[in-house]
Structure formats: C-alpha cells, structure tokens
A and B are shown apart, each in its own frame.
Chain A
Amino acid sequence: MKRILSVLITTFAASISASAQEADNITIGYLHPAERLQTLSLLDRPTEDLGISGARLGLDDNNTTGQFTGQVYTLETAPVSGAADAEAAVQQVADAGAGWIVADLEAEALLAVADAAAARDMLVLNTGAPDDALRGEMCRANVIHVAPSRAMLADALAQYLAWKKWPRWFLLKGSHPEDEAFAQALGRAADRFGGRIVEERIYEDTGGARTTDSGHIQVQQRMPVFTQGAPDHDVVLVADENEVFGTYVPYHTWDPRPVMGTAGLEPTVWSPAHEQWAGIQVQNRFVDGYGRRMQAEDMLAWMAVRMIGEAATRTNSAEPEAIRSYLLGPDFTLAAFKGEALSLRDWDLQLRQPILLADDKTVVSVSPQEGFLHPTSFLDTLGYDRAESECEL
C-alpha cells in the first residue's frame, strides 16, 4: 500500500514538473484603489470586487486559450491608497512574479506607479485615469491607456448632440479639478463639433455625507433654483466626476431638458446593459462567475488583461519584451464587443475605441457617429489626433 502510494506520488510529481516545464507562466499585477469614492445613488455603490472581477474574467479567458498554447496566467492584486503607496505596491506584485501592471488608479498614483514600473522595465496599462495630460505633455513610454480620455468621452457625446442637432449646451460643473477637466473637454468638443456652451455654472462641493434621511426634499428645492434663468439651451450637460450633485440633476432642471455627461446619458466604455456585438456573451460569463453585472471598471480590466493575453498568444511568448513590442507594433488589435477592432494610437499609446452612450437602462447610441470622417480611422475623430498631440514618447 505504501509502495503504491509512493509510486502514485512520484508519478504525480513527475507530471507536475513536466507541465511546469512546458507551460509559460504569465503573471499580471492588478493595482486598485484601496477605497473607492462613495456614490450618490445606492445602486452605484462600488462592490469590493469592482474591477478585480473583470481582471479575473480576462484571466479565465486567457487561461482557456492558454490550454492550447501552453500558457498559464495568474493575477496578483494590491491596493493602492495614493501615490505614496505606489513603489511598495509595484514591488509587491513584481516580487510575486508580475511582468505587467494593470492600474485602476487616479492620475497622481498612476504616474508614481509608472515611475516605479519603469525602473523595473514593466509596462503599465492604465484603466483608471482619464486625464488628457497623461496622454499629452505628461505621457510616458511605458504607459498604455486602455481607459478612454476625457476628450474621447466628450467628443463621443458631442458627435451625438451634433447628429441630434441639439447644439446649445448649458453646462453644470462641480468644483473639483476633475470636473473642471471634463468641462474643458466638453468645451473643446463644442468647438470641434459645432456645439455652443451657452452658460457654465459651478456647483460648489461644501462637503457633507452622501446619504441622509431627508432624501429628495431639499434636492427638489435646490436643483431647480440652481438651474434657473439659463439662456435658451437644448440640453443640460453635467461635469461632476466626484458625484457631488450630478445624480440629482435629471428631472429637477428648471427647464425641461435632457441631461447628459456624468449624469443622465453618459459617454462610457461599457454599460451593464450593452449586449450587441456579442457583448451578451461576456455579460453572461461575468454574471455566471461573479453574481453581478459587469461595470465599466470590470470591462477596462478585462480589456487590459486580454491585451496581454492576445500579445502572448500571437507571439507565442511570455517574454515582456516580445509582448511589449507586439502591443506597440502595427499588428496589435483587440476584439472587445464593440463591432470593430481596437488598436493603439502610436503617438500617445491610447487605445482607439468606440464609446457607448448609455443611461442606467440601455445603450442609446455608440460613437463615432455616422458622417464624422477621418482619413485613417473614424475612431480617431474621438480625442486628440496625431497632429494635436503634445505627447513625445
């Protein structure tokens, strides 16, 4: 009996070492915020696994393919509470064998991660920071931007407004720098696509809790007054990335107008309601695996992990250098349920992609809109084009 057991163990050990020799290990680091912003709506409260589950699904999909290519993918996650944490978090995932970093972080933390990763020759895939400056004057040669920039999101919305012939925009913005940045992106989009911002108003963040028991009563008094007396406008645009007031704008405006931007109809990389172009398949896989609907953070993480998987499959390699040159080379494309191939802009390493326009129930439209032309890719009608870019890689 003992002998049989030892024979069994030997065989088992042999088979493990054989497969360990054959399989290429590809470990991806995933850095996520230690804490996420509270939202105004209970429905939007971030779950603990937000983003991480998207990365895990991408990993599962890579591993399904890996069965046929002899590649095994693993994920190392680490929380980051700010730029000061970046070095330690990068060290942690690098020590665990990660060759790449997917970072769902804000700009400052992302840049710190990028520096720490550069010192280790690691590529960073940005899934969290929409700042145009990160793709412009502050761009880095080791940072790929999977997340669309604010300019891309604003242009996507502006094209739809142009198509609808709703050119007069009343802009409400929050008082945080991110809100100002998105407001500026909307202003740029107005110039590009024939919109006009008839007035801008700032909603000051005076602090306070996100949840109170008084509910709608004050909101119903305040929002109409806040939006009263604006010049004639077709739509109300909201730039409130920190969720101070935007959620309260729809149905409370002084004039009866649709609301768009960071509230109402939102330009976004993904919607839990997106099902066309086989989106239903990834949605089904996600719900089966994680028991909730797939959010934009999840899809961005899925895309980033799939990009590394795609490069590893195509190059038949687990070497960071081979994967990097494939991703940055002319042959890289990714299919991500958007009806066309996504690719990288070589001037700022931004992923080209269609942008969904979705409310909380449905995908209303997808930009680029019909009729906005471009000599090389219609997707380059969104965001900073080659000639406009201030990025020097």
Chain B
Amino acid sequence: MGVTSRGFAVLFLAGFAAQPAFAYKIFVSNEKSNDVTVLDGDTLEVIDTFEVGQRPRGITVANDGNHLLVAVGDDDTVEVYDTETYERLHTLPSGPDPELFVLHPSGNPLYIANEDDNLVTVVDLENRSMIAEIPVGVEPEGMGVSPDGSVIVNTSETTNMAHFIDTESHEIVANVLVDQRPRFAEFKSDGSEVWVSSEIGGTVSVIDPATHEIKHKIEFDIPGLRPEAIQPVGVRITEDMETAFVALGPANRVAVVDPETYEVLDYLLVGQRVWQLGFSPDESLLFSTNGVSNDISVIDVEDREVTKSVQVGEFPWGVVTTPD
C-alpha cells in the first residue's frame, strides 16, 4: 500500500510538473539587457529570464516549438535555445549583424536580414549551413514569407524597397519602392497581400504580390500627436484576416486596421516606443514590445482593448510564443 501510494504520488507530481508544458510560453528579446524574458501564457506572469548574446532582437520559434531562435546582432550570429531548459544548443552561420529573420512555412530554412552587409542569408536549420547569400538594398531589415513559402519579402531601410525573392532560385523577382525606412513585411494568410511598414514615411504600403503594385497606402492620424511621432514598425494580421495591428513606435500606440477596407478603426495606447507585435497561439491575445518603458502590453484581439502590461527586461524588442 505504501509503495503504491508513493508511486501514485510520484505519478501525480510528475503529471503536475508536466502541466506547464501544455500552456504556451511567451518569449521577449531584450535588446539592452541581453536576455530573454519568459512569460507563462496562462498567467501572463514572468516565469524566467535567461541570458543570451549581445543585442538580441529578432526572435522566433522553430522545430515544432522546441527551439527558440534569437538574432544576436552584436555577436554576428543566431543562437538556438531549448524552449524548455533555455540551454543554448548551438549557433547558426547567420552572416554579420543579423536583425530580423523569418522561417519558411515548412519549418526550414531560415531567411535572415544582415543589416550591415546588404544581404539576406539563407540558412539550413538541420545541417546548420549557409545555403545562399542574396544581395539586396542598403540596410536590410524586414522579412516576410508568403503562406505557400514561394516568396520572401525583404525590406531595405535606406534603399526604401521591398525586395521580392523567389525561394527556389534565390533571385530577386521584383523591387517595390515604398516610403522612407521600411521596417517590416507581413503577408495576409491567403497570400493575396503583403503589408510593408515605413517607419519614417509613417505609412503601411499594401502590395499585391502578383502584380508587385502598391494597392493602397494606410496612413495614420492621431489627434494631438505630431505626425512625425507616428512611426509604423511591427505589423500583424490575424489568420482569419478580420483584424490587423500596426505598432506605431514613439506614438505609443497600436493601430487597429480593417484588412478589408484598410480603415484605421482605433488606436490602442500601449507602452513607450512600441516596436514589434506577436499573437498568442489561438490569436485571442496580441503582445506588443514597448522599447522605452521596458514592458509588454497585452491586447485582447476581439475586444480591441489593452488588458494588462507586464514588466520585462531592458529595451524589449521582439516577441514570439510557442505553439499550443
């Protein structure tokens, strides 16, 4: 009986300990404090912080949620961490000064923007080798991938272009001139549009990937705020294409946009200098990284309301969650 009950207790404990693995985790890269903050997706509380390389910015989850990829620009590499143990497993040959990257929808390869070298580097995650280097415009930054994985879009901040790159040939197939300092590229889930934010231009260009034409430019106007303070960076569009969100930098707001009509529906007040955005796995919540106020804001996607802010590390930059 004693043995059985102890066995039961062990089983119970093991089951209990494994419980948090079912909840998703939120990872936030902190550009200045050189660490990653881990939050629990259920409680939205900080459960851990672990040190990474110098100047972590781009962050994503790979290998079915088991690997966390962090671009550490000042160390000229992309680090790969175990999402359970936070152990650094290995690094990737990213090319110099990686800032942002995007994962192919199939989970491999990784497309990395190298800011200082005017290159996009393609890296195979399995054998950790560089597949290709693609010359692009000056100061490449934003990286988007079409849902079918056939095209990636890189934005170059000083050339002011969105470069459309064929993922088979690694050739640029089109260059679309957008407004000043394009920062981010996000495809709609049906692949019909890619949205490119221009930080200094203050706009989001909606580009048709078939014709490479700009269909529309979304502009922002916040009463009482000078237009120069409205600097779009991160963009996220829900899978159902019902709602889009645009982080507006020093305007300290996230714009809610109707992806159908491009109408700006609302401006949600978040923390200071909002950089990037990331959804929870079921897209019920959106997290914004607020660079100057050192916190993330939690936005209820359906209610379009900021429900909470959570202190993280210094200068939070990127945010990603593990899958459910």
Which residues of A come within 8 Å of B, CB atoms? 61, 64-65, 67-69, 278, 281-282, 284-285, 288, 306, 310, 313-314, 333-335, 339-341, 377-378
Chain A residues contacting B231 (CB-CB under 8 Å) are 340
Please name the residue on chain A nearest to B175 by beta carbon. A68
B135, A67: Cβ atoms under 8 Å?
yes
B159, A378: Cβ atoms under 8 Å?
no
B228, A378: Cβ atoms under 8 Å?
yes
Taking the complex as formed, is B256 at the interface, i.e. its CB lies under 8 A from any CB of chain A?
Answer: no
Chain A residues contacting B82 (CB-CB under 8 Å) are none
Chain A residues contacting B181 (CB-CB under 8 Å) are 278, 335
Size category, B interface: 20 to 34
Chain B residues contacting A335 (CB-CB under 8 Å) are 157-158, 160, 180-181, 200
What's the least CB distance linking A130 to chain B, in Å?
24
Instruction: Give bound CA distance, A51 to B189, whole Å.
Output: 48
Chain A residues contacting B250 (CB-CB under 8 Å) are 339
Chain B residues contacting A282 (CB-CB under 8 Å) are 158
Q: Would A341 and B135 be within 8 Å (CB), given that A313-B160, A333-B200 are in contact?
A: no
Please name the residue on chain A nearest to B176 by beta carbon. A68
A61, B158: Cβ atoms under 8 Å?
yes
| Interchain CB contact (< 8 A) of B137 among A64, A333, A377 | A64
Instruction: Give bound CA distance, A65 to B97, whole Å.
Output: 20
B116, A340: Cβ atoms under 8 Å?
no
Please name the residue on chain B nearest to A314 by beta carbon. B177
Taking the complex as formed, is B138 at the interface, i.e. its CB lies under 8 A from any CB of chain A?
Answer: yes
A378, B157: Cβ atoms under 8 Å?
no
A341, B228: Cβ atoms under 8 Å?
yes
Please name the residue on chain A nearest to B229 by beta carbon. A340
Chain B residues contacting A281 (CB-CB under 8 Å) are 115-116, 139, 157
* Interface residues of chain B: helix, strand, loop or mixed (majority): loop
Please name the residue on chain B nearest to A378 by beta carbon. B226
Which residues of B come within 8 Å of A, CB atoms? 97, 115-116, 118, 135, 137-139, 156-161, 163, 172, 175, 177, 180-181, 200-202, 226, 228, 231, 250
B200, A64: Cβ atoms under 8 Å?
no
Instruction: Give bound CA distance, A311 to B158, whole Å.
Output: 13
Q: Would A340 and B228 be within 8 Å (CB), given that A64-B118, A335-B200 are in contact?
A: yes
What's the least CB distance linking B276 to chain A, in Å?
15
A68, B200: Cβ atoms under 8 Å?
no
Chain B residues contacting A64 (CB-CB under 8 Å) are 118, 137-138, 159
Q: Would A340 and B177 be within 8 Å (CB), given that A68-B159, A278-B157, A335-B157 are in contact?
A: no
A68, B116: Cβ atoms under 8 Å?
no
28 residue pairs A–B, Cβ–Cβ below 8 Å: A61-B138, A64-B118, A64-B137, A64-B138, A64-B159, A65-B138, A65-B156, A65-B160, A65-B161, A67-B135, A68-B137, A68-B161, A68-B163, A68-B172, A278-B139, A281-B116, A281-B157, A284-B97, A284-B116, A285-B116, A310-B160, A313-B177, A314-B177, A334-B180, A335-B158, A335-B180, A341-B201, A378-B228
Chain A residues contacting B161 (CB-CB under 8 Å) are 65, 68
A65, B159: Cβ atoms under 8 Å?
yes
What's the least CB distance linking B173 to chain A, in Å?
11
Please name the residue on chain B nearest to A373 by beta carbon. B226
Chain B residues contacting A310 (CB-CB under 8 Å) are 160
Chain A residues contacting B138 (CB-CB under 8 Å) are 61, 64-65
What's the least CB distance linking B162 to chain A, in Å?
11
B200, A340: Cβ atoms under 8 Å?
yes
Q: 4 closest A-B pairs (Cβ-Cβ)?
A: A65-B159, A68-B175, A340-B228, A335-B180
Instruction: Give bound CA distance, A314 to B161, whole Å.
Output: 11
Starting from the known contacts A68-B137, A284-B97, A341-B180, 12 additional A-B residue pairs (CB-CB under 8 Å) come to A61-B158, A65-B156, A65-B159, A65-B160, A65-B161, A68-B163, A69-B175, A313-B159, A333-B201, A335-B200, A341-B200, A341-B202
